[in-house]
Structure 1
């Protein structure tokens, strides 16, 4: 049986309110037939969910493409819903039934579609830190067929309709380059409307727009007044339509939220609550503090529909312990370093104040530790109104924490009063990795939770201190790992659009995106290269050519910026660079590793140009491809002349230098052999410990496997003393640390000023776990896992490994298990894909598939025994291979 399912439009299931003029759809095929390949498809589009009438029909299209099919032939209309369904044919001509239908719905497509006005609370409200309330009432005169709200804000908003919170998204409209791009959200509110009087209301918070950002707590980076823009469209069952907008008819008042800042937390006085303020029937005339709003003049040209997945409440965590510290503090332990907030319930007297302070760790004496937060307060204050039971959770702030210090709750505290609410961008989790070693499994857990904590609308460098910025270097180092664990395509596409928007006229790339640092804070090697590396990785992992098209000018501009630096366009030896940031071979009192910065800069220059040449090829830009290929060859020659001696020795004798030269293929022949040998020598000198920082670490184990030194990579992985990935695990880490020794062996801390315990960069080791240990990899020439490379590399004493990845084509599973000289390798490959599998140390003589002779197995299209094992070409299906390993090559 073969079926078509998991229909998606722009990666999303039944999205509403999109503004993409040429939406793309994708689907998956599920078949119990091995080696199933698509030969043709047919798409129908209708405005009728049962397809009584067809708006558009592709006809039978002979193609094996089943992802990112662009629907470019129709002028889609604003606010209309389009249903679509798909059938496909196999290579043998088998025709499937129509799929279940799915839909997408267009939003507002241009500035002229917005009738609403920007509104703000009067200026005097901005003199306090209170978050204003905004409201109005309106009449619904007949039964409602459909209703939508389109809404955004300068700042953050929380929307209410008839007493109900609208939607399940948080920190809307999200953080973008606000001067260029502001997202709006679309909500289906059909079920929330009532015939008669209705009330709509909003709460505004400072957020990233107006709130205090960066270590200097700089306010008003984008503007000094919050504002709301909302447009409600009501379609009545009788065919009539009505539009409710934000305008001067709205009223404003102060809220119980006295302060809410991303870094500092929230203060809430429940005594100031205005009961039922967001419901019909509320009599504001009895409240003297409701005043008319200000209509604002602000552009609507920058409005765009929601691009990435919004932030949502993803899961809840119960605390595991109530602690009384040596200093007498009452602390709850969530058991997990998490990002979000605490929902709590409290009983008490009116005016009683309870305080929650948040921290990642306890100090070596077991006391609550907040010095690493710098100036971020991470404090929630709640003043009781004195009812029997009061439950509260914040609105416009989030915390990074494991431990919560409680004040004002009294002595009989119960853990059941507190729940940790985990928030992050609602990306689908797509990958997993498990193995026979519990420490490695905890490392994988920490990598995943580092991503959860730092992928909150932008890829932040940390979620707790007064920073939480979208550092470009961290993002490009981790993006391949992140793309295994979650579907990050919409997330990074939105962020890259902001990168292009904030890019300097000369092509320079700010250190952080969105750009909120000094004007001079831009264009470090390995950081600015995110402009090229990230789009290429997304294309590789998702087969998404459009992201290359959208970012191509930005990619070219970055390379152009580098080329214009200094007096030699083939070497980059000028300007500021972070270098091998936090490298352990740094000089005392320095954050910068020992590897020469011009070496790193030129290496990344060559790498970005090589990717740009590949991108030009993908986009069929032949002239550019030829020009960038020529430039790359010139840079390569210049690099080798500058950094390789006549005898083939690398002139920069550090681990990171050797890693970059090998990873980016900047050395060949004798120089490659000597560089590989030198890297091993440097590791041996450090008793197989790394000295690398942010630049070298992500590639270290990948390079070792690349040069045939996977066992050395395993030695590094399994180290448990400082510095190593597992050192953090043995110290009780539940996320990845910023520093290898964030907590030293004696329990003291690395630094007061820059010591995050949730910082995903070093989690890039996950890429090696998935691609090499599990052996689940893609084919650069056939991206998106259309053709899959499976090459497990057992070692390190592991006895089994399982990995999975929900690709655009479907679920890929792979695993291996060894016992003495026996090996079992499993693979599950989705329909419409193929794979090349290398079975390590296998021979054809003992190889069996599903307990049958290999010659009897279907779905295997070629077999080849080599010196390192057996290589097979596979079609889709479920496979289980067993064999006896070569005794002289048996795995340790």
Structure 2
């Protein structure tokens, strides 16, 4: 069963979301497999039943480089005799109608929505896409759909029975056979997006002008499902946001400014009348805690549907500290809500696959979720965005935006850091085997931009509380150039590539250049910024003989600063890890848990249920780039430290660390070989640990010195 040499069809009629149908006869039931790719998004029906529970499928790619198809076992949907297949298409990322600052409305792949399908029954091809065997209409109830605007639905235009036998399609037209999107066809292996949770509002408030505000109590990604009753033609308008104006209405100003046409995060439903009606959008998603519902109809119910990639949760941590648990919960919710097919920065304002956010949070994702396959497929998309020179964009996919602003070594490091992290946690080599050539091209590009083996073409320690105190961008960029080059050398060794020695020499030159330019002696880098010291330790740039004095200086600076973070997103990962690696676990823990501004707990005390995009919270309030705290907890409190010599936890060394602020800490993680558990208590001066490793896996427990 292959998906090659397949024709693509679409509607030649302008209007809303096009509907397609085809009929075929079946004499006897046999195992049936249907292969489909529909761009931007598709919904598939057989004999009136929707096939599967996936949504927003297939996952976005750079469509003129790579297009994913999806495999469905449809045996249970078929019956002897006449059968009917139906498909609806949404614009998704493929044919974005909204103008935006990232230029997706001018993407190189932009075209009419289209799909390709093959149905195999008993191993034989029984139905495929062609203008002869299908009919289509663009006059259905979805009158408008846009990834960044929303969806409009007119229930008066519904087509009852359109994907069932016997439907009168005499007014439908033959579809057009269209050019393929241009990319290679490849099967989607990432778990699909699904409605993973349904959340009832904690309050429903009616404002003086009649608007109803549903507060779901948590910041989430997805949409609202409504049940309404009223007259035909009455409208229900839904506006989604994560904040409220002082007068109680939903505030979208801070998340809508980059969408240049139409209203952002807005759905509209028009009633058909005649009883209760239930509806939720299909081809868009929003980020929100609040939904403002404006209607003269009777609202009987509203429920939020939390949508994200349906990877399994494989890890969890819990402690005796309620606020720390709350922070870890918020981190997990942020990761989920920022993985709708691809890892993103935020689910409302942008929905973009920012590389820096993804690399900073990738270990949190792999500690908590079975996200390796999803990250691998996104890395394919990132590699598809690479220019011939080796240059990478700051977002993937991209329409051409983000190459000359928003990238840089700390962001581009996603191409290197994520394959290594996947390898450590799962043993999977695919990512670095597949993209090793892209890595070499990138390093050639980066070194061409270097002066005396130092680089400076990135955003630096982004979203620092005070940019005037930010570590030098040349320093942090060069840290990451060293990191990427050293990782490439490791990959070369594993792949037996002769370039390994050259890469090691390049990395050494960067390390030496950083120390010549920025190390002042006595443990001091640059102007003693936390990120400067922490980055030198975390990335392994600091001379081995100086590491202890640098760590002691960093610990002193953090304590003198009352444990308040004085860094941006790069420091948020480097500083706590550098401290913990040097034995200052308590200092790092106190940074995470001190309650003053700026800080993680400060967000929670302002009502946050997800991590914010900056310390003051005036922009996005659902951003994952400060989200390494969960991975830090697994690694340093739970002691779960993956080993490159035993990837996928084929051997396990557990190094748990107590902190006096916690009476107990529990951690579990499902490895490819089974479950690892660590439970410790720290009471009355006695530290007790219970640990469990998979059967047959050599496990060593190392306890901290008293």
> Same fold, TM exceeding 0.5?
yes
Cα distance change of structure 1 residues 327 and 719 upon mapping to structure 2, 3 Å threshold: farther
1:721 aligns with 2:611: no
Q: State whether structure 2 residue 461 is matched by structure 1 residue 580.
A: yes
Residue 698 of structure 1 and its aligned partner are, at CA, apart by 1.3
Map of 2:353 onto structure 1: 470
Shift of 1:298: 2.3
- Aligned mate of 2:415, from 528, 531, 551: 531
CA distance in 2: counterparts of 1:807 and 1:817, whole angstroms? 24
Q: Which has the higher contact order (CA 8 A, sep 6+)?
A: 2
Deviation at 1:681, TM superposition (A): 3.8
Number of the residue aligned with 2:286:
399
More helix by share: 2
Partner of 1:739: 614
Report the Cα offset of residue 777 of structure 1.
Answer: 1.8
Distance 2:595 2:474 in 1: 33
Q: How does 1:601-640 map to 2 (within 5 A)?
A: 601-621=477-497, 623-640=498-515
1:493 matches 2:376: yes
What is the distance in 1 between the residues matched to 2:110 and 2:682? 61
Q: CA deviation at 1:258?
A: 0.8
Q: Write the mapping of 1:821-832 to structure 2, written as runs, cut at 5 A.
A: 821-832=685-696
CA contact under 8 A between 1:644 and 1:671: conserved in structure 2? no
Pick the aligned partner of 2:267 from 380, 405, 422: 380
- Offset at 1:307? 2.5
Query: Among residues 311, 316, 319, which one is paired with 1:427 in the alignment?
Result: 311
- 1:146 is matched with 31
Q: Aligned-pair distance for 1:283?
A: 1.2
1:151/1:231 contact within 8 Å kept? yes
1:554 equivalenced with 2:430 (yes/no): no
Rounded Cα–Cα distance in structure 2 between residues aligned with 1:226 and 1:715: 52
Match of 1:761 among 620, 625, 629: 625
Q: Which residue in 1 is equivalent to 2:9?
A: 119
Aligned twin of 2:167: 282
8 Å Cα contact 1:234/1:243 also seen in 2:
no
Paired residue for 1:448, among 326, 332, 335?
332
Q: Within 5 A, what are the aligned runs for 1:303-452? A: 303-325=185-207, 329-363=211-245, 366-374=248-256, 375=259, 377-410=264-297, 413-414=299-300, 417-452=301-336
Q: 1:619 to 1:216 in 2, by over 3 A?
A: closer
How far has the Cα of 1:652 moved from its partner? Answer: 3.5
CA shift, 1:301, in A, is 6.1
Aligned to 1:199: 84
SS at match of 1:396: coil
Residue aligning to 1:18: none
Deviation at 1:485, TM superposition (A): 0.6
Separation (CA, whole Å) in 2 of partners of 1:432 and 1:491: 19
Instruction: Go from structure 1 to structure 2 and tell me whether the alpha carbon gap of 1:326 and 1:159 turns closer, same or farther (over 3 Å shift).
Output: same
RMSD over aligned Cα atoms: 2.0
Whether 1:174 and 2:56 are equivalent positions in the alignment is no
Match of 2:179 in 1: 297
Question: Residue 468 of structure 1: CA displacement?
Answer: 0.8
SS in 2 for 1:616: helix
Query: Partners in 1 of 2:530 and 2:664 — Cα distance?
Result: 30
| 2:557 match | 682
Q: 1:759 to 1:646 in 2, by over 3 A?
A: closer
Q: In the TM superposition, what whole-angstrom CA distance separates every residue of 1:476-505 from its partner, at most 9, and x where no partner exists?
A: 100011100101110111011111111111
Are the structure 2 counterparts of residues 800 and 325 from structure 1 closer, same or farther at C-alpha, using a change threshold of 3 Å? Answer: farther
Query: Post-superposition shift, 1:326?
Result: 7.4
Aligned mates of 1:499, 1:421 — CA distance in 2: 29
Alignment length (residue pairs): 697
- Cα 1:298–1:715, aligned 2, differ >3 Å: closer, same or farther? closer
| Distance in 1 between residues matched to 2:454 and 2:250, nearest whole Å | 49
Post-superposition CA distance 1:448-486 (Å, at most 9, x none): 100110011111100011x11000001110001110010
Query: Which residue, out of 131, 140, 163, partners 2:48?
Result: 163
Deviations 1:23-62 (A, max 9, x none): xxxxxxxxxxxxxxxxxxxxxxxxxxxxxxxxxxxxxxxx
Q: Could you tell me which residue of structure 2 aligns to residue 21 of structure 1?
A: none
Q: 2:613·2:621 contact (CA, 8 Å) conserved in 1?
A: yes
Q: Is the 8 A contact 2:523 2:551 kept in 1?
A: no
Contact 1:326 1:365 survives alignment (8 Å): no
**What are the residue-to-residue correspondences of 1:627-706 with 2, within 5 Å?**
627-645=502-520, 649-668=524-543, 671-706=546-581
Residues 471 and 526 in structure 2, CA contact (< 8 A), matched pair in contact too = no
Judged with a 3 Å threshold, the aligned counterparts in structure 2 of structure 1 residues 213 and 618 are, in CA distance, closer, same or farther, namely farther
> Match of 2:219, SS?
strand
CA–CA distance in 1 between the matches of 2:591 and 2:554? 13
Name the CA shift for 1:795/1:396 in 2 (closer, same or farther; >3 Å): same
2:126 aligned residue: 242
Whole-Å Cα distance in 2 between the matches of residues 470 and 174 of structure 1? 12
> Secondary structure of the residue that 1:761 maps to in structure 2?
coil
Matched, 1:788 2:673: no
CA contact (8 A) 1:169 1:312 kept: yes
CA distance in 2 between partners of 1:158 and 1:269 (Å): 18
| Maintained 8 Å contact 1:151/1:184 | yes
Q: 2:17 aligns with which of 122, 128, 131?
A: 131
Q: Is the 8 A contact 1:508 1:522 kept in 2?
A: no
Displacement after TM superposition at 1:790 (Å): 1.2
Contact kept? 1:610, 1:628, Cα under 8 Å: yes
TM-score with structure 2 setting the length: 0.95
Mark the CA change 1:701 to 1:645 in structure 2 (over 3 Å): closer, same or farther. Answer: closer
Q: Is 1:707 aligned to 2:582, yes or no?
A: yes
SS of residue matched to 2:409: coil
2:395 is equivalent to residue 508 of structure 1: no
CA distance in 1, matches of 2:50, 2:106: 27
1:3-152 matched pairs, under 5 angstroms: 79=1, 108=2, 111=4, 114=5, 116-122=6-12, 124-125=13-14, 128=15, 130-140=16-26, 142-152=27-37
User: Aligned partners of 1:348, 1:787: CA distance in 2, in Å?
Assistant: 63
CA distance in 1, matches of 2:38, 2:23: 20
